[in-house]
Structure 1
Amino acid sequence: MPQTVAFTKGHGTGNDFVVVADPDGSLELTDDHVAILCDRRFGIGGDGLLRVVRCSAIPEGAEAAADGVEWFMDYRNADGSIAEMCGNGTRVFAKYLADTGFASLEKPLRIGTRAGVKTLTRSALGFEVDLGRWAVDDADVLVRARGLSVSRPGQHADLGNPHVVVALSSLDELEGLDLTVAPILDPAPAAGANVEFVVPEEPLVHDGVGRIRMRVFERGVGETLSCGTGVAAAALAVRHWAGPAAPEHWAVEVPGGHLGVRLVPHADGSHVLLSGPATLVYSGEITLA
């Protein structure tokens, strides 16, 4: 039977999403449904889908529900595949909850994700999300991409979802990349990875803030105008390369705008926080066969 789905289109620095409210988990959204909704020619269009569901109504939200968290961000890539987390998506998710009255942002808002509970607050740029603990490692990986004459070494970074960060030497190299074709990783991670290409600004640090530019290829999507966890991964990788004197605050320029990254001490170790805008564009209804 056809089902009519109410939706809202939103984005964070051009990383756009179809937001679907399903508080009680009653919708049956297959991988194909998600792919159709996110298709830019035959559907609404988006880099992914954010289903707004109560933690108690989805198996992956059971632990968060037991911790008193009400809402779970069920994030799906544009091809319908499940993803652990989406940094820009958390801000759009929070904006939707606040604007619809599902939740208040007068105090920090906790939401469930497949990468654990994330906490959001309002910030000067719009919203800031605590992405939690992070890790970088120096495992060998080579990255081939169309537009680069030779393979480049990549830096693994874990933000609750997998990333490989590649340093480029110039803006010409960054702009010359053809990311209509997926970069090839050797060895290829079993679960795939988002791949970020970064170029430091000149100078790298200004007024105590590190500055970089970035483009990203997201697994299950393709090139996007922005990737929140990718922005954090890129800043962490460049900080790792720069050494112990590197700053704790970073400004990252992506094709869709500007985002902020900062590191803060926490009881369980260093946390990385991401800040940026979130916009809801329009709402409507669509009928799925």
Structure 2
Amino acid sequence: MVCYSANGNTFLLVDNTEKKISDDEKPVFVRNHAGDLDGVIFVEKVNEEFFMDYYNRDGSTAAFCGNGARAFSQYLIDRGWIKDEEFSFFSRAGEIKVIVEDGVWVRMPRLSEKREMTVNGYNGYFVIVGVPHFVVEVENVDKINTEKLGRDLRNKTNANVDFYQVIEDALKVRTYERGVERETKACGTGVTAVFVVHKDKSGLNEVKIHVPGGTLFVKEKSGEIFLKGEVRRCSEE
């Protein structure tokens, strides 16, 4: 087991390629070992293909985790299991494409739903990019009580909640994550959901996004959305 941080989004990666931990045992394992981390990723193989099985820290599963996918990709590279500049692995959200080019770019799940929604007087968008998000633009994201308001909106929408602000040539985002049940330092699907909303307003195909854990980069290329950011072993921080 080893801890990886993707812009402060922290995960325990568990080599389960020999399936020593069964699916029935995973939720209990996660609750016993996640500690203060954001999630646990089981590294597995299905039909000789690498498979990322992601669990939130509360033991619940999620179809996908963008920063988790970046950590998973870096783990495969660090173990020497992957040496190609382009490769794919699988998750509950399907096949995930990875491009190693000045960092690790992970292709995010396609947008499957986007609609306007108003909750408790907050106008935003309900967006599904692998997992659901409620995206709200605010004037000053630093003044938002993410823990209190985020938790309330999360319970009303059953989705992750993203608050974002446009600042010059970039965006600033804070996310309350479902399953983690708190604000996290970064959320890959969250910034992707924000990108989708902002792109429709601005027309930009690439954007830099500041999160509490650093800076992420999101771009659309040939109809596909890719995410890049910092990823490293926790012990190196």
In the superposition, the TM-score normalised over structure 1's length comes to: 0.75
The answer to whether the 8 Å contact 1:136/1:155 transfers is: no
User: Structure 2 counterpart of 1:78, which letter?
Assistant: R
Q: Measure the CA separation in 1 of the matches of 2:10 and 2:63.
A: 17
Name the residue aligned to 1:3. none
Name the residue aligned to 2:145. 178
Please state how far the C-alpha of 1:258 moved relative to its aligned partner. Answer: 0.5
The answer to whether the 8 Å contact 2:88/2:97 transfers is: yes
The answer to whether the 8 Å contact 2:154/2:176 transfers is: no
User: Structure 2 counterpart of 1:110, which letter?
Assistant: S
Q: Measure the CA separation in 1 of the matches of 2:21 and 2:186.
A: 29
Percent identity reads 29
Pairing partner for 1:21 from 11, 15, 19: 15
Query: 3-state SS of the aligned residue for 1:26?
Result: coil
Please state how far the C-alpha of 1:77 moved relative to its aligned partner. Answer: 0.3
Structure 1: 5+ residue stretches without partners: 1-6, 41-45, 57-64, 145-150, 284-289
The answer to whether the 8 Å contact 2:209/2:217 transfers is: yes
Q: Measure the CA separation in 2 of the matches of 1:259 and 1:235.
A: 11
User: Is 1:160 paired with 2:130?
Assistant: yes
Pairing partner for 1:11 from 2, 5, 14: 5
The answer to whether the 8 Å contact 2:116/2:123 transfers is: no
The answer to whether the 8 Å contact 1:122/1:128 transfers is: yes
Q: Measure the CA separation in 2 of the matches of 1:30 and 1:129.
A: 25
Q: Measure the CA separation in 2 of the matches of 1:258 and 1:118.
A: 22
Deviating beyond 6 angstroms after TM superposition, the runs of 4 or more aligned structure 1 residues are none
Q: Which has the larger radius of gyration?
A: 1
Pairing partner for 1:227 from 187, 207, 212: 187
Name the residue aligned to 2:90. 112
Root-mean-square deviation over aligned CA pairs: 2.0
Larger helix proportion of the pair: 2
User: Structure 2 counterpart of 1:277, which letter?
Assistant: E
The answer to whether the 8 Å contact 1:95/1:280 transfers is: no
User: Structure 2 counterpart of 1:51, which letter?
Assistant: F
Q: Measure the CA separation in 2 of the matches of 1:139 and 1:261.
A: 22
1:112-261 equivalences in 2 (<5 Å): 112-124=90-102, 126-142=103-119, 144=120, 151-170=121-140, 174-181=141-148, 182-185=150-153, 188-189=156-157, 192-202=158-168, 206=169, 211-221=170-180, 222-242=182-202, 246-261=203-218
Query: 3-state SS of the aligned residue for 1:162?
Result: strand
Structure 1 residues 235 and 155: alpha-carbon distance in aligned structure 2, compared to 1, 3 A threshold: same
User: Structure 1 counterpart of 2:31, which letter?
Assistant: A
In the superposition, the TM-score normalised over structure 2's length comes to: 0.90
Q: Measure the CA separation in 1 of the matches of 2:210 and 2:153.
A: 24
Q: Measure the CA separation in 1 of the matches of 2:82 and 2:211.
A: 30
Please state how far the C-alpha of 1:25 moved relative to its aligned partner. Answer: 1.5
Please state how far the C-alpha of 1:186 moved relative to its aligned partner. Answer: 8.9
User: Structure 1 counterpart of 2:178, which letter?
Assistant: R
How many residues are aligned here? 232
Structure 2: 5+ residue stretches without partners: none
The answer to whether the 8 Å contact 1:20/1:50 transfers is: yes
Pairing partner for 1:31 from 27, 30, 33: 27
Query: 3-state SS of the aligned residue for 1:36?
Result: helix
